[in-house]
């Protein structure tokens, strides 16, 4: 009798488990399983190829420095165990890419954020420091013209053509990106300052002036349809800054600060997108 | 063809010629002059914006022999600017070898400065340097010619997106700041 009781218990348990297993599968309940969304970061190393950009007194070329930093940042983002990043580089080698192509590439990749990396130079060798720019809004006409020019390229490639109402939406989106671009620029400023101010190996401290967050009408930022910033890592025309940019440790600190800022802004954007669902 | 018809045809052709000739001569020699843009030549005090040791714009005052109108005066000013500063401690905003090919003005009082290719080819790189160059030009023009509302930059007669790969110059430049 005991054996029968045990057998009945085992059979009933088996039946229960068999019923329970599909119930744990969302698809079986008619729920669609959401894929883990990648957060797409478009990294734009400035200049390249025949366009070397600024050159320091020691011969440091902007195109090489910014490619180093961009590649290091891409690696840190991809290797990070937390968030699922998709990284797109507008160039991964020493190659000339026209501004229009960078913009088109970023927009086609449907990036969540865009970060253009540059090294600065001035007529004055005293000018130094790190600064982050986000776009200053042009007039409505100007924005629309940019969008029209951008889409003229799309027409040649036989992409779907936007209607006039889409330009209005594009302008509204630009205003939305403006606020997020400003937040992103602020996050970079804070992140990089914190990272660089920490002593490095052997207690070495890097002097870097913080020039703040600024606005300007950058051609590359005016074309991309996502929150976008342009980072001027330091001045190659300044002796101390050029030495910093030649140091692998300084570049690592710069990348650490940029990564922290991307983590922060990605969290904000993802929360906003989740809130919209 | 009857003589009367021939005479009529000659009359019409002559009348048309006279009217067209009058309009051409009138437009060239008797065009109403706008005193804001056309004036008698005189010695003028101007301010040329160069870059100081802090990387900011600084005006250098000069006297020039002005021309007979704003287009000529703008050309003289920009040529002086391209020649570089005379005061110690100031740096030129425009790269060496830059030549101003022409100056035009449109109905919106926007001045078009048409440069040779050297303004692109001789760029030394850097966003700040590009701003310094643009705003030494814009400040020089807007400060000396208050009748001008904005500045556009052309290269060999064509519109270009940027001079050094950074700042968008496809729109009229109105700001007088280095960082706007």
Q: What is the pLDDT of residues B29-58, one digit of tens each?
A: 555 567 777 887 889 999 999 999 999 999
Average pLDDT, chain A: 82
Please determine, for residue A74, whether its predicted confidence score (pLDDT) is greater than 90: yes
Give pLDDT, residue A11.
54
Contacts of A138 in chain B (CB under 8 A): 168, 171
Distance CA A229, CA A237 (A): 22
A54, A121, A216 member nearest B167 (Cβ):
A216
Average pLDDT, chain B: 89
Of the pLDDT bands very low, low, confident and very high (cuts 50, 70, 90), residue A37 is low
Q: Range with the lowest mean pLDDT among A44-53, A223-232, B11-20, B90-99? A: B11-20
Cβ B134 vs Cβ B99: under 8 Å: no
Q: Token pair for residue A268?
A: 């904000």
Give pLDDT, residue A10.
54
Q: Range with the lowest mean pLDDT among A61-70, A165-174, B55-64? A: A165-174
Give pLDDT, residue B151.
96
Q: What is the pLDDT of residues B93-103, one digit of tens each?
A: 999 999 999 99
Residues 6+ apart with CB under 8 A from A206: A196, A200, A244, A247, A249, A250, A253
Give pLDDT, residue A140.
37
Please determine, for residue A153, whether its predicted confidence score (pLDDT) is greater than 50: no
B165–A contact, CB cutoff 8 A: yes
Contacts of B170 in chain A (CB under 8 A): 142, 145-146, 219
Which residue stretches of chain A are H helix?
2-24, 62-79, 99-108, 140-156, 164-197, 219-223, 239-246, 248-276
Give pLDDT, residue A23.
39
Give pLDDT, residue A152.
46
CB atoms within 10 A of CB B55: 21
Closest C-alpha to B169, from A189, A219, A271: A219
| B34 secondary structure, DSSP code | P
Please determine, for residue A120, whether its predicted confidence score (pLDDT) is greater than 60: yes
Which residue stretches of B30-106 are H helix?
70-83
Give pLDDT, residue B79.
96
| CA-based nearest distance A160→chain B, Å | 25
Give pLDDT, residue B68.
86
Give pLDDT, residue A273.
72
Please determine, for residue A16, whether its predicted confidence score (pLDDT) is greater than 50: no
A45–B contact, CB cutoff 8 A: no
Closest C-alpha to B144, from B90, B70, B92, B83: B70
Of the pLDDT bands very low, low, confident and very high (cuts 50, 70, 90), residue A136 is confident
Domain A40-276 CATH superfamily:
Zn-dependent exopeptidases (3.40.630.40)
Please determine, for residue B8, whether its predicted confidence score (pLDDT) is greater than 70: yes
Q: CA nearest B174 in A: which residue?
A: A138
Please determine, for residue A1, whether its predicted confidence score (pLDDT) is greater than 60: no
% residues pLDDT > 90 (chain A): 63
- Angstrom distances, CA of residue A147 to CA of A111, A135, A140, A173, A225: 17, 15, 11, 12, 10
| CA-based nearest distance B131→chain A, Å | 9
Distance CA B18, CA A66 (A): 68
Q: In this complex, do B180 and A136 lie within 8 Å of one another by their Cβ atoms?
A: yes
Of the pLDDT bands very low, low, confident and very high (cuts 50, 70, 90), residue A130 is very high
Q: What is the pLDDT of residues A188-246, one digit of tens each?
A: 999 999 999 999 888 899 999 999 999 999 999 988 999 999 999 999 999 999 999 99
B180–A contact, CB cutoff 8 A: yes
Sketch the domain layout of chain B as residue ranges: 1-31, 43-159
Give pLDDT, residue A272.
75
If one compares A70 and B174, the residue with the highest pLDDT of the two is A70
Nearest 5°: phi and psi at A61?
-100, 135
Please determine, for residue B15, whether its predicted confidence score (pLDDT) is greater than 50: yes
Please determine, for residue A166, whether its predicted confidence score (pLDDT) is greater than 60: no
Q: Token pair for residue A237?
A: 């025309």
């Amino acid at each position: 009798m005991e054996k029968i009781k045990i057998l009945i218990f085992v059979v009933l348990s088996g039946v229960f488990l068999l019923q329970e297993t599909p119930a744990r599968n969302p698809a079986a309940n008619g729920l669609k399983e959401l894929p883990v969304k990648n957060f797409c970061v478009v990294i734009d190393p400035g200049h390249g190829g025949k366009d070397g950009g600024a050159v320091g007194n020691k011969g440091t070329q902007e195109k090489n420095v910014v490619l180093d930093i961009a590649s290091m940042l891409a690696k840190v983002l991809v290797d990070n165990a937390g968030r699922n990043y998709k990284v797109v580089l507008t160039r991964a080698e020493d190659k000339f890419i026209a501004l229009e192509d960078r913009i088109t590439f970023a927009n086609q990749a449907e990036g969540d954020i865009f970060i253009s990396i540059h090294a600065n130079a001035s007529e004055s060798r005293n000018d130094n420091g790190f600064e982050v720019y986000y776009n200053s809004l042009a007039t409505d006409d100007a924005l629309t013209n940019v969008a029209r020019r951008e889409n003229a390229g799309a027409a040649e490639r036989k992409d779907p053509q936007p209607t006039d109402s889409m330009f209005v939406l594009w302008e509204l989106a630009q205003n939305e990106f403006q606020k997020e671009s400003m937040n992103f620029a602020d996050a970079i400023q804070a992140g990089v300052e914190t990272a660089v101010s920490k002593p490095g190996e052997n207690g070495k401290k890097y002097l870097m002036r913080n020039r703040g967050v600024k606005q300007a009408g950058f051609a590359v930022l005016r074309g991309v349809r996502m929150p976008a910033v342009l980072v001027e890592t330091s001045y190659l025309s300044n002796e101390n800054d050029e030495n910093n940019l030649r140091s692998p440790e300084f570049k690592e600190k710069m990348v650490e600060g940029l990564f922290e800022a991307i983590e922060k802004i990605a969290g904000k954007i993802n929360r906003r997108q989740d809130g919209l669902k | 063809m009857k003589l009367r018809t021939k005479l009529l045809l000659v009359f019409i052709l002559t009348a048309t010629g006279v009217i067209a000739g009058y309009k051409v001569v009138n437009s060239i020699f008797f065009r109403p002059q706008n005193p804001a843009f056309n004036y008698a030549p005189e010695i003028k005090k101007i301010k040329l914006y160069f870059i100081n040791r802090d990387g900011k714009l600084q005006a250098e005052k000069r006297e020039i022999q002005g021309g007979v109108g704003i287009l000529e005066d703008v050309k003289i000013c920009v040529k002086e600017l391209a020649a570089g500063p005379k005061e110690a401690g100031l740096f030129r905003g425009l790269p060496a070898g830059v030549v101003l090919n022409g100056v035009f003005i449109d109905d919106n009082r926007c001045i078009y400065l048409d440069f040779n290719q050297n303004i692109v080819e001789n760029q030394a790189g850097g966003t700040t340097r590009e701003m310094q160059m643009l705003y030494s030009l814009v400040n020089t023009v807007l400060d000396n010619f208050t009748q001008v509302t904005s500045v556009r930059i052309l290269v060999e007669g064509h519109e270009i997106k940027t001079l050094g790969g950074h700042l968008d110059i496809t729109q009229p430049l109105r700001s007088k700041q280095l960082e706007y």
